[in-house]
Amino acid sequence: MTAASGRLPEAGTDGDSDRRAELTAALGRVRARIARACEAAGRDRSDVTLVAITKTYPVADVVTLAALGVRDIGENRDQEAAPKAAAVAAAGALVRWHFVGRLQRNKCRSVVRYADLVHSVDRPEIVRALAAGVARERPDRPLDVLLQVSIDGDPARGGVPVPGVDRLAGEVADRPELTLRGVMTVAPLGWEPARAFETLADAAAALRVGYPTATVVSAGMSTDLEAAIRYGATHVRVGSALLGTRPPLG
């Protein structure tokens, strides 16, 4: 995989139909899991959006997923996402881009050029940088953002600890360039996912008291999407269960 070096693998000709069959089957399995989880939770299937996390996978996979009806695509690194978004657009596929990775201040101006929803706002510096980026790059189109919540409060892994959510929400609300849409989390290692998602659900409910438009709950990945849906996830971010196991990051 060449994504780590900033290059994107090119679409081949051999194997394209095999890959399409593989993605079709995986998508069927993931959609069935989401449907079952919604049913078990007494929730409407249309309440949950599948975001395909395509990091390390090629443009061709995004185009195939889009053709299969997956219109929400997520990436976690700007260096990979920016050229990928441009290539997907050039291929004529219309998708919504979700930025789900740790944000660096100097990448914000690039991210706002293609992102439709940024899931990972976790500190005032990033609120300011995104707002400034929007003002320069897309002044007529405010950026939808989620606050990434750290359930265990470990600063190393990103996210604002629960007690800081309200204050950060206020910072976002003060910026006309940004629209607060809700919260996101990654279940901490070593935690029972259900416990983490229940904590996020409480934080999301508390946030909605002051910010009624903050209705998005982005939670759940390949291994724990059922627990997330049980606790109110509106967006599940699924990578490996759809696209295959990624090689370990170098």
Ligand X SMILES: *Cc1c(COP(=O)(O)O)cnc(C)c1O
Contact footprint for ligand X (CB under 6 A): 53, 55, 76, 100-101, 186, 221-222, 237-241
Side-chain half-sphere exposure of 217, counting CA atoms within 13 A: 28
Looking at beta carbons only, is 153 or 170 nearer to ligand X?
Answer: 153
Q: Shortest gap between Cβ of 46 and ligand X (angstroms)?
A: 21
Give the residue with the Cβ less far from ligand X, 110 or 240.
Answer: 240
| Residue (127 or 186) nearer to ligand X, CB | 186
At closest approach, how far in Å is the CB of 12 from ligand X? Answer: 23
Closer residue to ligand X, CB minimum distance, 143 or 219: 219
Least distance between ligand X and beta carbon 95 (Å):
16
Q: How far is the CB of 14 from ligand X (least distance, A)?
A: 26
> 3-state SS of the chain?
CCHHHCCCCCCCCCCHHHHHHHHHHHHHHHHHHHHHHHHHHCCCHHHCEEEEECCCCCHHHHHHHHHCCCCEEEECCHHHHHHHHHHHHHCCCCCEEEECCCCCHHHHHHHHHHCCEEEEECCHHHHHHHHHHHHHHCCCCCEEEEEEEECCCCHHHCCEEHHHHHHHHHHHHCCCCEEEEEEECCCCCCCCHHHHHHHHHHHHHHHHHHCCCCCEEECCCCCCHHHHHHCCCCEEEECHHHHCCCCCCC
Query: CB of residue 174 vs ligand X: minimum separation in angstroms?
Result: 26
How many Cα neighbours within 13 Å face the side chain of 197?
21
**DSSP H or E run through 173:** helix 165-173
Helix H or strand E segment including 117: strand 117-121
CB of 135 to ligand X, least distance (A): 26
**177 or 184, CB closer to ligand X?**
184
Structure-token pair, residue 198: 């229940």
Chain residue at closest Cβ approach to ligand X: 239
Of 165 and 177, which CB lies nearer to ligand X in the complex structure? Answer: 165
Query: Which CB atom, from 215 or from 240, has the smaller least distance to ligand X?
Result: 240
| Shortest distance in whole angstroms from residue 27 CB to ligand X | 13
